[in-house]
Structure 1
Amino acid sequence: MNTKGGVHIWLIRHGETEWSKSGQHTGTTDIALTDEGRRQAAALAPVLASQSFDLVLTSPMGRAIETCRLAGLGNRAEVEPELHEWNYGIYEGRKTADIRVDVPDWSVWTSPIPEGESVVDVGRRAQRLIDKLLATNAMNIALFSHAHFSRVFGAQWATGSPAFGAHLAMDTAAMSVLGFERDTRAIVKWNLLP
């Protein structure tokens, strides 16, 4: 078992968009940051500048790439396709409350997502990325991504159960740190704002 006890993975959610502000599920639609989102992203720069990252990866979506750039790490970032947000299928662009008019008790965490990904699918994607990261020599890693994917990633890292992500709230432009407690994968810090 490769624990790589000194590894720290920083999960950084992109700044605010119009859809994150309104609560619309934003998976495959490439929505730009708002002015507030750009301000949030720039506010990350002083915190992230205090770290020495061996590897910086970003989702292919513009909102994550711009957050990474404004946070001061854009010139070092590589696009990592596994970091894209959950594919919400037919629910793309819709709010949970609106979906529940047609599908009572609907939840991204427990309900089928026609033409999209299930929580198990997203968990498998997160695990592939975890395995890839642990196979590198990188010890301090920054990942710029999205709320639901980051929540699944954190849950998969700490518990092996992607559905545990339902219990990990994540604000726009929030930072979380994953690492180890002795030989056990742990959530070191969660949902920190600059």
Structure 2
Amino acid sequence: MAPRVFIIRHGETEWSLNGRHTGSTDIPLTANGEKRVKTTGNALVGKDRLIVPSKLEHIYVSPRKRAQRTLELLNLDTKGHLPWEPHGKTETPGIPCSASVEVTEDIREWDYGDYEGITSPEIRRIRKEQGLGEGWDIWRDGCPGGEYPTDIAERLDRLIDDIRDRWHRPAMENRRKDGHPSGPNGDVLIVAHGHILRALALRWTRKELHDGPAFLLEAGGVGTLR
């Protein structure tokens, strides 16, 4: 099996509930958000599940606490090697996992700039008042005072190159004749945010961001790239 990238959006927050764009603002998960992430972890993470901890080589995490807490709640025992102080309690014992954990700015959420903390209808109203028209598409227009599609593509392409060079290429080059790995499995886990993960999927398939995403990823949602 070819190595995979599992993408997980952080769990529910108060702002994700009411549609407010949350980039740099560091807010916690709701109690319900934590509960749902735990349920997702129990269903999808394990030796006979979609995400097999023993096959994970590396974990990339956003610098935002809501993403880091989501990883904590998946109950992976990385031998305590988390590059942050825990944001809450977790169940013990965890599932053994030798993957390294890396916090990277390349997978932080889209910088919404002037649109931080407000909803899409509010953004459209503001743009109309500014003479920019009623329509707004982040994949085409970006965010004044924040990031534009070219900025996002640049940092995501850098991350994709890192994944393929460090983790996937070694796994693909160490295949037995039957196609099974003789070396590292090469699976990677990324825990981050809604817009940036949808953008990652576009760049992974070599599509331009202005093409727009082909899928939704709800709070706590899981996807697979190969």
Structure 1 and Structure 2 fold alike (TM over 0.5) = yes
**Is 1:134 the counterpart of 2:164 in the alignment?**
yes
* Structure 2 segments unaligned to the other structure (5+ residues): 79-99, 128-133, 169-185
Residues 9 and 140, structure 1, Cα contact 8 Å, conserved in 2: yes
Relative to 1, partners in 2 of residues 1:166 and 1:35: Cα closer, same or farther, differing over 3 Å?
same
Identical aligned residues as a percent: 31
For the pair shown, which has the larger CA radius of gyration, 1 or 2? 2
Q: CA RMSD in A?
A: 1.6
Structure having the larger proportion of residues in strand:
1
Aligned amino acid, residue 18 of structure 1: E
**Is 1:94 the counterpart of 2:118 in the alignment?**
yes
| Residue 115 of structure 1: how far off its partner (Å) | 1.3
Residue correspondences, number: 175
Give the aligned partner of residue 138 of structure 2: 108
Relative to 1, partners in 2 of residues 1:74 and 1:99: Cα closer, same or farther, differing over 3 Å?
farther
> Superposed, which structure 2 residues align to 1:163-182 within 5 Å?
163-179=210-226
Give the aligned partner of residue 187 of structure 1: none
| Residue 74 of structure 1: how far off its partner (Å) | 6.8
Aligned amino acid, residue 123 of structure 1: A
Relative to 1, partners in 2 of residues 1:170 and 1:40: Cα closer, same or farther, differing over 3 Å?
same
Residues 154 and 165, structure 1, Cα contact 8 Å, conserved in 2: no
* Structure 1 segments unaligned to the other structure (5+ residues): 180-194
**Over 6 Å off, 4+ runs:** none
Render the CA deviation track for 1:164-193: whole Å, top value 9, x for unaligned: 4433211111111000xxxxxxxxxxxxxx
| Matches of 2:218 and 2:142, distance apart in 1 | 25
| Residue 127 of structure 1: how far off its partner (Å) | 0.7
Residues 25 and 94, structure 1, Cα contact 8 Å, conserved in 2: yes
Give the aligned partner of residue 10 of structure 1: 6
